[in-house]
Amino acid sequence: MKISFNSEFSNDRGTIVFVCVKNKPLHKYLATLDKKNNNYISKAMKVTNFDYKENNHLELILPLGSKANRLILIGTEVAKISNEVGLGKLGSFLTSITNNKKIKEVSLIIDHKLFKPSEVAIMLFGLSLNTYRFNKYFSDKNKTRVNYIQKINLFYSNKTDLQKEWKRFSSIKEGVFLTRDLVSEPANNLTPFLLAKEAMKLKNIGLKVEQLDEKKLKDLKMGALLGVAQGSENKPYVVTLEWKGNKSKKTTDFTFVGKGVTFDTGGISIKPSGGMEEMKYDMGGSAVVLGLMKALALRKTKANVSGVIGLVENMPSGKAQRPGDVVKSMSGQTIEVINTDAEGRLVLADILWYAQKKFKPNKIVDLATLTGAIIVSIGQEKAGMFSNNSNFSDEVTKLGLKVGEEVWNMPVDNSYEKDINSDIADMKNVGSGRGAGSTAGAIFLKRFIKDTTWMHLDIAGVTWAKSDRPMTPKGGSGFGVRLLDELVFKNFE
């Protein structure tokens, strides 16, 4: 979809869209048109009970006085657009209207007296997010979930400041779309090798990208990650990405680490067949890292950031890891593998250690579709958040509320340590009993964190949208890209 920016309204053709705010005056063009037509517009608003409720709009076929053939009024209230979530939903609603009416192009007029440039940019962000469709595998194009809107002619008097704001949100949108694309891909078309290849493409936007193959991983003694990969014909990879936004300092501000299990059968501890097809998105953490790094590079963040993703496939075979095996991680710590379906933490153990050794970040955040237990705990509205620093977790909680990607603080204190103690190794990869499964995973990861501020985001419940939502069509959600971009932006820009 293309957006053109204009400071003066000059094209009263086709479909014109106005955003109307309750108890605020109509835009001057709309007021003039209303007057020319004996208060036709205001009368229509009154007769139809245009009450500015959410998802309320009015469509009018225009009489004399305009070359346009259709007018769409979208109503809202100040209280509903007082935050980013409300503004994003407002923009998303415009996409839904145009798609329902199969409209390909509109002129969108927004009053600068009612909306700041930053608010309009967020509105456009929500509008754009709702245009996403993953249609590439349909042979019959009539069956596709069509996005009709192709062009927005935006009229807003403070065009210059708006374009500056939109540059950032346009970059975030591109990152979200990359994440959604990767999460939506079937596993036969996104093996560890192919996902590593997608990551390498980000060199084209200025990121430094390096790929480690199986031989290099063996040289680094990543025994935990390699143990997960050994059952598959598809070889493992680790990919690192780096952006130096502030070359005057040598330190890395943030490192983001992502689990990339491109398909998870559970291994020898095989999963039930029902729903196993969803395990194509068990690489969701790595997809968020790639989408985030793309967004940060496109908007040329002033921070120094890096990403590390571990890419494997967890398959049962004669070569596969067995329950009861003991593996030695890159850190030197040994792990008794009780359940081969708790494989993501084994991958993360090695790449978290490697990330700290390579980049020495001030803060490190890992993302993983780690446990089904987090869905049992908090459902599919929020990500589970675990951190060794309360100030950091408080900060991310507030940012999540602000941008609409919410997290819930979960326990990861030392009282849970005993749950992953092993009788024959330094630790085991699952907790004792059925309780606190997500915390057991986080406690495990915590053992591979040095003296670094760390956060683990369990995104198992939020990576895939099972139905259409505002700004998130059914499928890969892209959750995490917006939140972590805001984290970087707030701290360094």
Classify the C-alpha dihedral 218-221-222-228 as positive or negative: positive
User: Is residue 394's pLDDT more than 90?
Assistant: yes
Q: How confident is the model at residue 11 (pLDDT cuts 50, 70, 90)?
A: low
CA distances from 50 to 74, 75, 357 (A): 9, 8, 60
Question: Which amino acid is residue 229, in one-letter code?
Answer: A
HSE-CB for 74 with a 13 A CA cutoff:
25
Instruction: Please indicate whether residue 271 is annotated as part of the active site.
Output: yes
pLDDT at 103: 95
Overall average pLDDT of the 116-130 stretch: 98
- Token representation of residue 246: 């502030």
Distances (CA, A) of 104 to 7, 127, 151, 339, 375: 22, 14, 7, 52, 39
The whole-number pLDDT of residue 27 equals 84
The pLDDT tens digits for 35-55 are 887 888 889 988 988 888 777
For residue 301, what pLDDT is reported? 98
pTM for the model stands at 0.97
pLDDT, average across residues 180-194: 99
Q: Which pLDDT score is estimated for 93?
A: 96
Q: How confident is the model at residue 378 (pLDDT cuts 50, 70, 90)?
A: very high
Q: What is the CA radius of gyration of the chain?
A: 25
Pick the catalytic residue from 36, 133, 197, 271. Answer: 271
> Is 357:447 a contact under the CB 8 Å cutoff?
no
* pLDDT at residue number 66: 66
Task: Report how far residue 295's alpha carbon sits from residue 289's, in angstroms, rounded to the nearest whole number.
Answer: 10
Q: Name the token pair of 98.
A: 């145009």
Read off the pLDDT band of 64 (50, 70, 90): low
- List, for residues 273-313, the tens digit of each pLDDT value: 999 999 999 999 999 999 999 999 999 999 999 999 999 99
What was the pLDDT predicted at 398? 99
Both tokens of 361, joined, read 């970040």
Question: Does residue 27 contact residue 111 with C-beta atoms inside 8 Å?
Answer: yes
Per-residue pLDDT at 65: 58
In this predicted structure, the answer to whether residue 110 has a pLDDT above a threshold of 90 is yes
Q: What is the mean pLDDT of the chain?
A: 95
Among the listed ranges 69-73, 125-129, 322-326, which one has the minimum average pLDDT value? 69-73
Q: What's the whole-number mean pLDDT along residues 8-34? A: 85
Three-state DSSP state, 99:
helix
Task: State yes or no: is 46 an active-site residue.
Answer: no
Q: pLDDT: is 112 or 37 the higher one? A: 112
- What torsion do the CA atoms of 190, 191, 195, 197 make, to the nearest 10 degrees? -110
| pLDDT of 34 | 83
Domains defined for the chain, CATH in brackets: 2-156 (3.40.220.10), 171-491 (3.40.630.10)
Tell me the pLDDT tens digit for each residue of 150-179.
Answer: 999 999 999 999 999 999 999 999 999 999
Cβ–Cβ under 8 Å, residues 419 and 431: yes
Tell me the DSSP string of 445-459: HHTT--SSEEEEEE-
Question: Who's near 115: CB < 8 A, 6+ residues apart?
Answer: 19, 123, 156
Q: What is the pLDDT of residues 424-480, one digit of tens each?
A: 999 999 999 889 999 999 999 999 999 999 999 999 999 999 999 999 999 999 999
Q: Which H/E stretch holds residue 177?
A: helix 159-184
Q: How far apart are CA 296 and CA 305, in angstroms?
A: 9
Enumerate the β-bridge partners of residue 304. 244
Q: How does pLDDT run across 336-367, given as a tens digit for each residue?
A: 999 999 999 999 999 999 999 999 999 999 99
Instruction: Determine which one of 280, 345, 428, 482 is catalytic.
Output: 345
Give helix then strand counts, H and E, for the chain.
Answer: 14, 19
